[in-house]
Amino acid sequence: DAGVTQSPTHLIKTRGQQVTLRCSPKSGHDTVSWYQQALGQGPQFIFQYYEEEERQRGNFPDRFSGHQFPNYSSELNVNALLLGDSALYLCASSGKGPTSTDTQYFGPGTRLTVL
Amino acid sequence: AQTVTQSQPEMSVQEAETVTLSCTYDTSESDYYLFWYKQPPSRQMILVIRQEAYKQQNATENRFSVNFQKAAKSFSLKISDSQLGDAAMYFCAYRTLRRGNQFYFGTGTSLTVIP
Instruction: Decide if A58 contacts A66 (C-beta within 8 A).
Output: no
| Mutate: best of A104, A105, A110, A111, partner B, most B CBs <10 A | A104
Residue B71 in this model has a pLDDT that exceeds 80: yes
Contacts of A111 (CB under 8 A, 6+ apart): A9, A10, A11, A88, A89, B43
Q: Is A95 near chain B, with CB under 8 Å?
A: no
Mean pLDDT, chain A, as a whole number? 92
Residue A99 in this model has a pLDDT that exceeds 70: no
pLDDT tens digit string along A50-94? 999 998 899 999 999 999 999 999 999 999 999 999 999 999 998
A residues 23-82 lying closer than 8 A (beta carbon) to B: 33, 35, 40-45, 48, 50, 55-56, 58
| Mutate: best of B43, B51, B52, B94, partner A, most A CBs <10 A | B43
Strand-pairing partners, residue A34, are A47, A91
Calculate mean pLDDT across residues A83-108: 85
